[in-house]
Amino acid sequence: MAAPKVTDSTGQRTPAHGIPEQPSLDGLETRWDEQWDADATYRFDRQATREQVFAIDTPPPTVSGSLHVGHVFSYTHTDTIARFQRMRGKAVLYPMGWDDNGLPTERRVQSYYGVRCDPSVSYDAGFEPPEEPFDPPISISRRNFVELCLHLTREDERAFEELWRRLGLSVDWEMTYTTIGKVSQRISQRSFLRDLERGDVYQTEAPTLWDVDFQTAVAQAELEDRERGGAMHRVRFCHEGREDVLIETTRPELIPACVALVVHPEDERHRDLVGSEVLTPLLGVRVPVHAHALVDPDKGTGVVIKATHHCMTSRGINKQGTELVTSRMLGCFRDNPMTRQELMSMVHSSANE
């Protein structure tokens, strides 16, 4: 006689002894996720002492696009550590956060809805998110744009959480946070005030990275490097009483920002230049020649142009105390309009190559 059958929560017909006729993985993720939530399997024990806690502070993923296998691979590493520490008896603090701040979110909203933020536009209380992006894009008020950002990030966060849950990450979902949430705002503000009281906060004038579209400063982490074909330009710096000094650069438009030339201290070809001065082309600004170990003597002529704001190596050299003479160069601009015109012509021709 056939064994009696029952229907489980996934809809499968299962014999009473518990072994399904046709084993299937369908619905297992949802079933176990609900079970783990009900049992508080990964819930953080707030009563644990500091010695018992193993805290995992992972950078929250940016909810401004689609997750890919790289995210899954990375967070699987973290989850392995979390599970190992639980097996050792630790109270594991493993929250999940969403980074929904900044330019990535703004760009996603712009392209997803076909809108542009324009503070001069009045608020429309009846504005609804479009099902299809506007084409061409339309301008909306700042308040409407912020509402779209909040709406889309909530949708993206739900999609992200669903995937992480299906993957089986051992996260305490009751401790989920967002970078634009009130809790994160208060933590950031209090941390800043604490650093201010300690004297760890300072204010200074310095070059920054600037987004010409959003008219705002951007962080180094928000940049994406792309290799493009270019040209190496050989430029002559006048050295009074000696032969002219040749440098090679892919950025001749930075000559107005030149504050020094730098050579490697062990480069015999240019050792006698250290401590002397040269004149920049076109502007005729007197700048010193320094020595620094970061210079690659095998690149170009072995002489590097030091601008006020250039590549990371150039900034590293600048930290050693290179004198800035920007004000003198600006004065040269004001006093010589022909030089300005010649310089802009050189910059445009370089940009077009």
Cβ neighbours for 79, distance < 8 A, ≥ 6 positions apart: 94, 168, 169, 170, 171
Cβ neighbours for 252, distance < 8 A, ≥ 6 positions apart: 233, 235, 346, 347, 350
Closest CA to 316 of 349, 293, 339: 293
Q: How many Å apart are CA 250 and CA 231, to the nearest integer?
A: 6
Task: Write phi, then psi, for 99 (nearest 5 degrees).
Answer: -90, 95
Phi-psi sector, 253: left (phi>0), alpha (psi -120 to 50), beta = alpha
Architecture in CATH of 233-351: Alpha-Beta Complex (3.90)
Per-residue pLDDT of the chain (353 residues), as tens digits, is 455 555 555 555 555 556 767 777 788 888 888 899 889 899 999 999 999 999 998 888 888 667 778 878 888 899 999 999 999 999 999 999 998 877 888 888 999 999 999 999 999 999 999 999 999 999 999 999 999 999 999 999 998 888 888 888 999 999 999 998 899 999 999 999 999 999 998 888 777 888 887 778 888 777 888 888 889 999 999 998 788 999 999 888 888 889 899 999 999 999 899 999 999 998 899 999 999 988 999 988 999 988 876 555 555 445 444 333 333 333 333 344 434 444 444 434 433 43
Write out the CATH class of domain 39-200.
alpha beta
Residue spans per domain, the chain: 39-200, 233-351
